Amino acid sequence: MVQYNFKSICVVPTSKDFIDIVLSKTQRKTPTVVHKHYKISRIRQFYMRKVRYTQQNFDEKLSQILVDFPKIDDIHPFYSDLINILYDKDHYKIALGQLNKAKQLINNIGKEYLKLLKFSDSLYRCKQLKKAALGRMATLMRGQKEGLEYLESVRQHMSRLPNIDPNQPSILISGFPNVGKSSFMNRITRADVEVQPYAFTTKSLYVGHTDHNYLKWQVIDTPGILDKPLEQRNTIEMQAITALAHIKAIVLYFLDVSETCGYSLQDQVALYANIQPLFINKPIMIIANKVDIKGLDELSEENRLLLDKTFYSQDVPFKTMSALTHQGVIDVKNEACDRLLAFRVEHKSKSKKMELIANRLRMAIPIKTDIGAKRLPFIPPGAMERLISKLDSKAKAKTLREESLSKYHDGVRYDEQRMNIDEEIPITKKTERDIEMEMGDDYVLDLKKHYDLANIDHVYDILPEILNGKNVADFVDMDIFKKLEELEREEEIKIETGFYETTLSDSDQNPPEIKTLAKKIRLKKQLRIIETRLKKSSNKPRLPRNIKGKSGDRTPKNLMKHMNELGAHHLRTHDFKNLKKNAIVKRYASNASLNSCDGSINIQNKSLIKRARVDPITGLVKSSTTTPRNLMGIQNMQMKTKLDRMAQKSLSPFIMDGRVGESDRHVYDLKPKHLFCGKRKMGKTNKR
């Protein structure tokens, strides 16, 4: 029997959500396409896989719920009775039993329909059997609607229960309502239990933790209990009764001696007598609370006799306190923890387990020998030699240091006998611990007094690490003074030789000839930059064709008008149209004579015709630039047409199929069913 963590139970979905989750997962995790021309064995395997996967999903989900929920017979009796009080043991077992039976029936349905699918002879029959199997499983889960809802409500309530460990050392607080139980718990723990001036503020068990003697103690606050028969108690009171009956703890029974809780002292004592059988084999303490309102010396004679007869005569520990003023709270806590610890040790020592362990223990008592003899430590000879040599070297170093220091003490010399190396040096040395024990509270640890520096006055100097926002270690140079002296010496030599006096005036530094030459150089540099930019083809300024000048559009008519104004009256309009069509002829026919009779152009210089190459395919005169890449190596127009047809034919499979390559997959179904089934959440689903 171990402690159970109710917060780890998985969420129980409703029957509808249960079916949607399983069927949607089956649709997503199994193949979705089958054709009638497949082999019958392949069709059977397709539908058998659907049925088997659905059966396994139902089985896994139901098994997880059955495993997570605690079994009443396998957990601690405290948890068992608590579940019985809060949720009714019979209903709890029936709900889990129904789920277990549903799981068995779903497994049987899956096995039955797998056998039928194994011998089916057509696609239609396989499909119908699969449909029937999944439908029967879903119908079974719809019948578990009420059981699943009940288990989900139980799970939510269990997750809010306090985490109580029945085997941990615990302090159990009990008593009538409104007697100060929750206030005491808030004082000794960090638990923030609600405290109100009316009864039954605490309606369930609350847990807090405190420390005492390096141990962790569990403090349990129980709801108030009224003095009435057990069968008449409600659920709130039964939680306290369950905790008192099953948890091994020290019980603090609270009494309100001021009777401001609404119940008389006689009723509170009667309740103690009523529930006293629950305190068997448990230590108990009686706590008289609210003594700040009314002390024990202010009680009536009747109440004093009642307390003496009930508690003092039975040797029951009795303590007084006030949770409001903190009077006696820590004393009650410490005494309760000490009593419980002593009780647990005594109980374990009397158990059978202790007897088994005690039989295996054996204590050996040494016998005293050589009484009064001194036991000196043994030091190996090699270690002793090393120790003597080390002491000799320290003595020599000390002697040399004292001799060097004696020179600076105004001629005062130390005694030669004290400086003798052969003098016996005490081995023992006073440690810092010895100094601390001598000085007591006045001792201050000083680690700098052992620094070995050339100048003793520098021992307690503070070394700055950061100065003016910079790390001092980056600027440390051991030869800085030597370098400074060298720099000062160089500066003095320069000053003596008059190095800083032979400076030119402003007129000598910038004569007029130099200024003029510099201006020309800058202008030449700018012109070179502009020429370089103009040479680049991408940066040449270009005028768009649709630009309009001062005389209108650039048409042959306007050009002829402009040429007539200049004196060329023999040109006609169609001459300029031909020039526009073939601009290359215009460029290379600068020496040509234009015939005004027939309007044709006779080019006299044949060398210009060679320079203005004629395209063998188009028959037009083209410029001296390179041949386009798509026309390289083509002899005539027929060859170009044939090559275009071959290129288009080679690309036709890719154009028709519409794929970039083998990795490009075509999605035939734009809305697959497995992405559009089941419960949808808020938001758009256009991109699914």
The per-residue pLDDT for range 399-451, each reduced to its tens digit, is 777 766 655 444 444 444 444 444 444 556 788 888 888 888 888 888 888 88
Q: How far apart are CA 629 and CA 164, in angstroms?
A: 87
Q: pLDDT value at position 601?
A: 39
Classify 6-157 by CATH class.
mainly alpha
> Which DSSP string corresponds to 633-675?
T--SHHHHHHHHHHHHHHHHHHHHHT-SSTT----S-SS-GGG
Q: How many CB atoms lie within 10 A of CB 74?
A: 11
Q: How far apart are CA 249 and CA 483, in angstroms?
A: 82
Which residue type occupies 555?
Answer: T
Q: What are the respective helix, strand and coil percentages of the chain, to the nearest 5?
A: 55, 5, 40
Residue 236 has pLDDT above 90, yes or no: no
Q: How many residues does the chain have?
A: 688
Q: How far apart are CA 533 and CA 31, in angstroms?
A: 67
Of the candidates 89, 257, 77, 297, the residue with the CA atom closest to the CA atom of residue 175 = 257
Mean pLDDT of the 147-174 span: 87
Q: pLDDT value at position 192?
A: 76
Segment 179-193, tens digit of pLDDT: 888 888 888 888 777
22-32 as b/e, with b when 16 or more CB fall inside 10 Å?
Answer: bbbbbbeebee
Give Dmax over CA atoms of the chain in angstroms.
156
Q: How far apart are CA 402 and CA 650, in angstroms?
A: 105
List, in order, residues 6 or more apart from 296 with CB less than 8 Å away: 257, 288, 304, 307, 320
- Cβ-count burial of 50 within 10 angstroms (0-12 exposed, 13-18 middle, 19+ buried)? buried
Task: Map tokens 């190996």 to a residue.
Answer: 380
Residue 315 has pLDDT above 80, yes or no: no
Give the N- to C-terminal CA distance of the chain in Å, as an integer.
50
Of the candidates 562, 584, 589, 560, the residue with the CA atom closest to the CA atom of residue 572 = 560
Lowest mean pLDDT among 50-54, 252-256, 305-309: 305-309
- DSSP run (H or E) holding 184: helix 181-188
3-state DSSP assignment of residue 70: coil
Lowest mean pLDDT among 205-209, 472-476, 541-545, 606-610: 606-610
Q: What is the Rg, in whole angstroms, of the alpha carbon atoms belonging to the chain?
A: 54
- Angle at alpha carbon of residue 518, lines to 514 and 519, rounded to 5°: 120
- Structure-model confidence comparison of residues 353 and 412, the more confident one: 353
Locate all alpha helices (DSSP H) within 350-479, ordered by sequence: 352-360, 381-406, 416-419, 432-439
Residue 592 — very low, low, confident or very high, per pLDDT cuts 50/70/90? very low
- Cβ-count burial of 176 within 10 angstroms (0-12 exposed, 13-18 middle, 19+ buried)? buried
Q: How far apart are CA 623 and CA 587, in angstroms?
A: 9
- Structure-model confidence comparison of residues 148 and 598, the more confident one: 148
CATH topology of domain 166-354: Rossmann fold (3.40.50)
3-state DSSP assignment of residue 209: strand
Asked if 117 and 49 count as a contact pair (C-beta separation under 8 A), the reply is no
Q: pLDDT value at position 572?
A: 56
Ranges of each domain in the chain:
6-157, 166-354, 556-625
Q: pLDDT value at position 657?
A: 56
- Cβ-count burial of 235 within 10 angstroms (0-12 exposed, 13-18 middle, 19+ buried)? exposed
